[in-house]
Structure 1
């Protein structure tokens, strides 16, 4: 046991002597603590900007202090390198995937039952609202219409004769009223027959492009049988979803840019046309609709689109990741200013591969210490080996004395 203790003491003594002889600044550190070894040469203390005033010594006003162990004045200045603070913008853009729909889309159906006699359009044709695109057999309805027309003409002629006789006071007023009622009834029957005849025509309800036909001539169509679709694609509406955090920034009229998977290399501009009034509780997203003019008729309903939006965003100082340190109060960085190190609290906002965005009292161009940070104290004088000196340090370079190099 005694041999092990002696061996340990010898090892410790050897380590101490090696540190005292070979580690730069070791002699000054021993001198700061009042330890003088007789076999070591006396160390010359390095003090910058310290002026003796009476029995005590203190720093000159306005100059950095060379800090020794424990934060006491004295010792050598630390060697550091710096990088400049830059400003980065986050949350300034958003990309989403959406699906295009036609501005107006209608499924054309048969207005009544019957046999389809003919189709007057083909898929892809452009039609206007009110154009006839197909016809059902209409012989029965045509006969009914002709009969109603003749009955109406006869009733009108009878009414005209009764009115002539009434002016001569030959017939009673009740007979004239009966003739008027018969004429009006015949007119209503004629209108009903005309409507039934018109319903044998299949009419386009909107302007647009005709889709594929779902029936062929000769088919018997029940009422409301789907015949085809018509899409008005003069404007394409794109539905997409955005995260909840963008809800306050998306308003109708916000410009958007879209690109279609089916149209590589092309982009189209439009704007937000509608925003839903609630957040989806399951996905925490908001549904948005954008309208894109389709003047070249290149986009079609059902296409998938990549939607890009731009926002003002939020700006934060960006610092080198090596500059971030932690204390009991939170994260902080060392700022190089007037030849000394100053601690600046820096709350981390976002970590990127090329920098850390922080919420701190920093300006673009400020010099942030990235190497030599572990040996720094508040107000400690430092030697700048590489990197920007910062605006404040450049302005004070002519007046602030330089500490001697190691």
Structure 2
């Protein structure tokens, strides 16, 4: 015979079953949390780290850049205009000379004797001519004889002047002012007529000649400012100007000549090679971005960071000045353009900007206004 269940036991049984189910469901829920988080992390797109710089206003210049060697504006090969022994060379290489300054003294003895000889012959002919002028009045000398004496006198006077000129050639003088660049004679050397003995260059003004493509013919004018950086003088910039522009384009090369002038001195010297920059236009308040921000896909465009994503933005560019380039259309002041990390981007890529600082600009080079 079965004993009937206690009423309290019948009440506790459903409660125990409910509690066991709740605990089982709770355990199942806790086991699924890591899996949900892993799936969520798998679906998330990682942000691409990039560097960006904001578009800003700054002065920018349009310029043409070329390379050239410096040439003296004037140069002279000093030659001996008569033969003789060099008794004294009065100058050395590197010495500054003035036009007309004595440079070399040649042996003058033969030239002096020629002057004395022609002077004596000239005095004799002059006396004969004066006497003949008196005698022709008395009809003791024919007019033709007087004319012959006058001709002989003038001829001897010219020979005397030539002898004096030859004597002056025994002192070799500087034809131009400048510096002695080379010397090919020493004391005691015999010098033949028309032999180069010295070379003088005028380094007070130096020229750099550029062969410029014809497309720049309308932009380059005389008087425009020019800057020069010489390879032999790193860290220094010399200022000059466009002196003259050839109006004719060479049909063979398609270029025209532009001559820039610089003041010479102790720094710039003839023969130095350098880079010449001609600024032909300036914008005082242009909107610019670093040149590295431009994409390399053939079109003028940049990536702009908007709402954490990259936006490919076409731009219209203007002048380029060093590491900066002018943007005339497509951007506004303060737009952040990507400068590093562009290759990993597409339109709409999620990005993380790790550096918004402007690129470091090299310290300004000292300008030497003497050059």
Q: Same fold (TM over 0.5)?
A: yes
Change (3 A) 1:187 1:261: same
Q: 2:62 aligns with which of 92, 95, 108?
A: 92
Aligned equivalent of 1:402:
none
Match of 1:300 among 269, 275, 283: 269
Q: CA deviation at 1:142?
A: 2.4
Shift of 1:307: 2.5
Unaligned runs of 5+ in 2: 1-35, 41-52, 338-344, 350-371
Question: Equivalent residue for 1:163?
Answer: 133
2:183 to 193, 213, 236: 213
| Higher relative contact order (Cα pairs below 8 Å, separated by 6+ residues) | 2
Equivalent residues in 2 for 1:220-231, closer than 5 Å:
220-231=190-201
Q: How does 1:67-106 map to 2 (within 5 A)?
A: 92-106=62-76
Q: After superposition, where does 1:225-374 map in structure 2 within 5 Å?
A: 225-242=195-212, 245-276=215-246, 277-278=248-249, 287-294=257-264, 296-312=265-281, 346=314, 349=317, 360=329, 364=333, 374=348
Q: 1:188 deviation in Å?
A: 1.9
Q: Residues 298, 280 of structure 1: CA spacing in aligned structure 2 closer, same or farther, 3 A cutoff?
A: farther
Q: CA deviation at 1:254?
A: 0.7
Structure 2 distance, partners of 1:323, 1:128, is 56
Distance 2:292 2:80 in 1: 70
CA distance in 2, matches of 1:218, 1:322: 70
Residues 348 and 126 of structure 1: is their aligned pair in 2 closer, same or farther, counting only changes over 3 Å?
closer
Give, in whole Å, the separation in 2 of the partners of 1:345 and 1:359. Answer: 13
* Partner deviation per Cα, 1:104-127 (whole Å, 9 max, x = no partner): 111111223333332122222322
1:173 to 131, 139, 143: 143
Q: How many angstroms apart in 1 are the aligned matches of 2:68 and 2:176?
A: 25
Per the alignment, in what secondary structure is the counterpart of residue 311 of structure 1? strand
Q: Secondary structure at the match of 2:182?
A: coil
- 1:161-189 CA distances to partner (integer Å, 9 max, x unpaired)? 22233345543333322321221122122
> Among 89, 92, 107, which residue is 1:122 paired with?
92
Structure 1 residue 135 corresponds to structure 2 residue 105:
yes
For 1:8-157, what aligned pairs fall within 5 Å after superposition?
Answer: 92-157=62-127
CA-to-aligned-CA distance 1:181-240 (integer Å, 9 cap, x gap): 221122122122223333333222111112331122332333322201111111111234
Q: Give the distance between the partners of 2:105 and 2:250, measured in 1 at CA.
A: 47
Q: State the 1:246 CA deviation.
A: 3.9
Asked if structure 2 preserves the Cα contact closer than 8 Å seen for 1:321 and 1:356, the reply is no
Number of corresponding residues: 287
Q: Please, which moves more after superposition, 144-153 or 118-127?
A: 118-127
- Contact persistence 1:86–1:319 (CA under 8 A): no
| Partner deviation per Cα, 1:60-102 (whole Å, 9 max, x = no partner) | xxxxxxxxxxxxxxxxxxxxxxx97656887724443332111
With over 3 angstroms needed to count, the CA separation of the structure-2 counterparts of 1:158 and 1:372, relative to structure 1, is closer
